[in-house]
Amino acid sequence: MQIASAICLLAAGAALTSGVAEARVDVGIGIGLPGPAYVVPPSPVYYPPPPVYYEPAPVYVQPPPIVVAPGYYDDWRARAWQQQQWRERRWREREWRIHQREWRRWHEDEDD
């Protein structure tokens, strides 16, 4: 048994030292032909659909027709205001005349 273990030990030492001790140049020629290959496609990625935006429908409104009737339309408020102003003006004129008459009567007597 000792002889067999010694031979195995010597063979292992020779195998390990022979690769390091060899110095040579290797030349290789290769032809690049692809072999059959199978590529697994990536798993599909699902994205949510984009949000849908709806533009509101345009609204068309027909303007009301313009009716022009012959004649004169007066504003009763304006007419009432004008009448009130006229009455007040007449009242002031009347009061002023009365006041002037009285004033003259009192002051003309003093001048004599």
Max CA distance (Å), the chain: 182
Can you tell me the distance from the alpha carbon of 3 to that of 9, in angstroms, rounded to the nearest whole number? 10
pLDDT confidence band for 109 (50 / 70 / 90):
low
Can you tell me the distance from the alpha carbon of 84 to that of 76, in angstroms, rounded to the nearest whole number? 12
Can you tell me the distance from the alpha carbon of 106 to that of 17, in angstroms, rounded to the nearest whole number? 158
pLDDT confidence band for 111 (50 / 70 / 90):
low
Q: CA Rg, the chain, in Å?
A: 64
Task: Count CA within 13 A, CB hemisphere, residue 72.
Answer: 2
pLDDT in tens, 28-83: 887 877 778 888 888 888 888 888 888 889 999 999 998 887 766 678 888 899 99
